[in-house]
């Protein structure tokens, strides 16, 4: 089986974020960094070359594939700010309806800019995700 490409690294989060452009995306990324760090209780770490993650868990799929991933994270991409909410969005219709302008895909929440969304809803989503991850993957 192939190894996972997205693994925790020793790369500098601060250095990565300093290279994010435009400046508005960098400021949004720093806001999310501070929020996720505070809510998760974990320091930010780089996962692969472009994901800032908080905490970790070990998973094993029915196929036998296994690996480690951050409990929550984000990536400030060129086209959007992507939040990684590991449980996905199957039980979050109530929150998504109140969130504001966004797109979702599996465990990814795509936001153009934080000004487009309700930050209280983002906090609720992170809180639910962390609770779910703690229940499913204690530790």
Which CATH number covers residue 72? Answer: 3.90.1150.200
Domain count, the chain: 1
CA 76 to chain centroid:
10
Give the C-alpha separation, 17 to 125, whole Å: 23
Spatial contact of 31 and 17, defined as CB atoms under 8 Å apart:
no
Instruction: Please list the rounded mean pLDDT of every run of 10 residues in the chain (139 residues).
Output: 78 98 96 98 97 94 87 96 90 93 95 97 96 91
| Per-residue pLDDT, 2 | 57
Supply the pLDDT for residue 13: 98
Distance CA 69, CA 128 (A): 18
Residue 18 lies in a domain: yes
Q: Does residue 51 lie in a domain region? A: yes
DSSP string, 38-69: HHH---EEEETTTEEEES-EEEE-TTS-EEEE
Whether residue 50 lies inside any domain: the answer is yes
138 within a domain of the structure (yes/no): no
| Residue 3 within any structural domain of the chain | no
Examine residue 2 and state whether it is found in any structural domain, yes or no: no
State the pLDDT at residue 86: 83
∠ at Cα 96 (67, 105), nearest 5°? 40
Q: By residue range, what is the domain housing residue 17?
A: 13-133
Tokens of 116: 């487009």
Q: Residue 106 falls within a domain, yes or no?
A: yes
């Amino acid at each position: 089986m192939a190894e996972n490409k997205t693994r925790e690294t020793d790369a500098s989060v601060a250095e990565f974020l300093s290279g994010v452009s435009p400046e508005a995306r960098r400021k949004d990324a720093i806001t999310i960094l501070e929020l996720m760090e505070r809510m998760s209780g974990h320091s930010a770490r780089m996962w692969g070359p472009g994901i800032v993650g908080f905490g970790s868990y070990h998973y094993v799929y029915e196929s036998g594939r296994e690996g480690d991933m951050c409990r929550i994270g984000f990536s400030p991409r060129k086209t959007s700010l992507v939040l990684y909410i590991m449980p996905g969005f199957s039980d979050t219709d109530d929150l998504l309806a109140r969130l504001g302008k966004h797109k979702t895909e599996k465990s990814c929440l795509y936001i153009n800019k934080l000004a487009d969304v309700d930050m209280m809803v983002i906090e609720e989503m992170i809180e639910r995700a962390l609770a779910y991850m703690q229940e499913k993957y204690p530790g």
